[in-house]
Structure 1
Amino acid sequence: MFSRKKLLFYATALILATYFLFLGLTKAKGFFAPLLTAIILSLVVLPLAQRMEQKMKRPVAAILNSFFLFAISVGLMALVSFQVRSFAEDWPQIKKTMEPQIEQFKNFALKHTPLDQEDIQEAKKESSKAPSDTSEKIKTFMSGLSNFLANYLLTFVYVFFLLNYRQVFKDFIMRVFPDEKRDTVKTIITKSAKVAPQYLIGKLMLMGLLAILYSIGLGISGVNNFILVSVIAAVLTLIPYVGNVIGFTMAVAFGFLSSGDTNVLIGIALTFTITQFVESYVLQPYVVGERVDVHPFFVILSVILGNMVWGIIGMILAIPIMGIITVVLLNINDLKAFGILLSKKEFSD
């Protein structure tokens, strides 16, 4: 009876602790999201920083690597903004091209669904109404934009300090633990630092191959600016699962909506279906492979949790963070069972 009560107590405590942990992480997104992003980015450029430090001082190398990451992020945002602007400029022509398809869809809905003409007219009136709280929406947008820019710039400031003072942080971690544990701690730090760079190298190779496959398929299908669309769709795969949906939607917008040709839509659907099959069963196992040792089931769970806690940035950080957690658990004897559970490697008895 006592053991049952004890088990119930520990189970309840674990559930409550997990709930309040994720609730706290959600509330503290503005603080932890830029910091964890900076940690992952610092680990990514750490090998480059170490090579640069052989020829220059560490602060200079840290600044250059921070600017390097900043330039890459600005370039990616410029690509996306260019494509959005191109879509906005083509919008009048897209509306004109899609009018026959919209009319066909309306007629189909009237014949095969309970909707009638009055429902469609009411929907048009609702969609055409101007928002009454425009000023409030502008304030909300400006507030969100200012928060994003602040966190965005703060991330690269964190990267500089993490690279420049990494030895201080490493010494602190080493001294927190007793002497007999320091070899284990050193091993964990060394292996954990390799997870993010290895994951990024695999993803970069994967994105390059996906960009080529997308370019071939979308080019044959007749999508406008198919090379740029293919590159952006490949980059969006950094966001697990959701990135593929966004890439497909963008290709449809610049292909089918611009031309109104059903054959283009079929070509886009075939391109993404075939490419996703090749990615899942050929490229992902052999290109990314063993670079991040996390079981696919827990990859999906971590991505879902990341989305629930921090949205898109949580989904991007989920896999490398899970990889680091797996490394830590596998190298601590008391917690190794949990590491084996998260790992995709097979362990013998």
Structure 2
Amino acid sequence: MSETTDLVVIEKANALSVFKSGDQIEEILQKVEREVMSFVPDVTTAKGRKEIASLAYKVAQTKTYLDGLGKDLVAELKEIPKLIDGNRRTVRERLDALKDKARKPLDDYEDEQERIKAEEQMTAWHAEALEMNEAFDKAMAERFESDHEIALLLNDKFDRDAAEAAAEAERQRIAHEEELKRQAVEQARQEAETAAQREREEAARREAELKAKAEQAERDRIAAQERAEREAREAQERTARLAQEAREQAEREKQAAIDAERQRAAKVEADRLAEEKRVADEAAKRASDVAHRKAVNNAAKADLVAAGLTEEQAITAITAIAKGAVTAIRITY
């Protein structure tokens, strides 16, 4: 769809490129100038005066149309940064959610691997403790059996000593087993704490990276917004300047047209007055000539009457002479 006036046609889709190009604006203005300059005004007829008013109205309509089209473009350009920021916010939120969704299987896998690793470590420590307990139990059993055989050969004192030794050995075995369990638990705790510390440090590092990226993105957004606002401001200023220049040029052209029209009207009026003066001068000259001829004819008539002719005969003679009907005789006025 295109917006039209009687003098200018601009496609809506091409309006921005037209207003960004001084050459295209100049071409449009020159076209209007050619229309105005090629028009031959005629104020002597009602039709001619109507055509003059119609042309002036078309030029004013073209000015209103072009100015309104530029105003609409400026309003649209002001909305562009808002649309860009809204779309950027949507992009960040949607892509952050998609990133988290895409990484979740890996995060779940890494968490599961850490859990499996800790569980395997605990299992290994428990198996090691069981092996150590079995070895210790075997050694104690062998020692106990040996002591028992000796005790059978010894007296009651040796029996009591052996029993005490076995009891001591049992206490040592239990204490050793408890120590191994405690060490295994302590080692598992330390390993788990170390892994947790590593995870916290890694999480802190990732959070710091995300924060740095977010801060950089915010700085980029602010810079882009400031740049867009600056460019919009500059475009608005350029548009305002061009509009002002166009208004000033139109005002100058309007004043020039008014001055030219005044000069033409003054010339027409001067020509009319000159023609009226010429007609009046000719009429006055004719009237003076008629009066002069009448005075000469009356003087000649009086002379003829004095010479003996009647007044009627004198008038007839003068009339015939004035008409050139009398040979070799004429009246000198």
TM-score of the superposed pair, with normalisation by structure 2: 0.24
TM-score by length of 1: 0.23
Rg comparison, structure with higher value: 2
Higher relative contact order (CA 8 A, sep 6+): 1
